[in-house]
């Protein structure tokens, strides 16, 4: 944990106390936020252990949430598109042709490239 991360943790805890003081209308949180702010300015290393917990929790939450969001997006977007393409008969890998005949389904690509092919590849 660096000194800057410890300072950031102290400032975050100060902000949390200020928000609690505002929403709960409790002056104790206001006093606690003042103490945390002074401690953060005078001796920021006091927040090293809370910073480890804070950043460790943030890393764990980020790892879990990113996997959950990507799973939901895959199930909500990619899977229905695959089902629709399959119902419409799309066969991009040409598996139906492969199983029906003995001829190859691979495309022959004997092409000598010229400079115009590289200038406009699409």
pLDDT digits (tens, 9 = 90+) for 73-100: 999 999 999 899 989 988 887 777 777 7
Q: Name which residue leads in pLDDT, 121 or 90.
A: 90
Half-sphere exposure of residue 104, counting CA atoms within 13 Å on the CB side? 3
Mean pLDDT of the chain: 87
- CB burial of residue 17 (10 Å; 0-12, 13-18, 19+): buried
Q: How confident is the model at residue 19 (pLDDT cuts 50, 70, 90)?
A: very high
What's this model's pTM, rounded to 2 decimal places? 0.54
pLDDT digits (tens, 9 = 90+) for 97-114: 777 777 777 777 788 888
Distances (CA, A) of 31 to 12, 18, 26, 34, 120: 15, 9, 9, 5, 67
65 pLDDT tier (thresholds 50, 70, 90): very high
CA distances from 113 to 76, 106, 107, 110 (A): 41, 20, 17, 10
DSSP conformation letters of 81-109: HHHHHHHTT--TT-HHHHHH-SS--SPP-
Cα distances (Å, whole numbers) of residue 99 to 25, 90, 94, 103: 74, 16, 9, 10
- Confidence tier at 4 by pLDDT (50, 70, 90): confident
């Amino acid at each position: 944990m660096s000194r800057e991360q410890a300072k950031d943790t102290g400032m975050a805890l100060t902000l949390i106390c200020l928000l609690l003081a505002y929403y709960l209308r409790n002056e104790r949180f206001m006093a606690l936020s003042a103490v945390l702010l002074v401690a953060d300015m005078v001796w920021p290393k006091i927040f090293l252990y809370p910073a480890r917990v804070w950043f460790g929790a943030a890393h764990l939450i980020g790892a879990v949430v990113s996997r959950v969001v990507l799973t939901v997006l895959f199930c909500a977007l990619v899977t229905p598109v695959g089902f629709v393409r399959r119902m419409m008969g799309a066969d991009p890998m040409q598996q139906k042709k492969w199983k029906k005949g003995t001829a190859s389904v691979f495309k022959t690509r004997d092409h000598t490239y010229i400079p115009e092919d590289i200038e406009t590849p699409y």
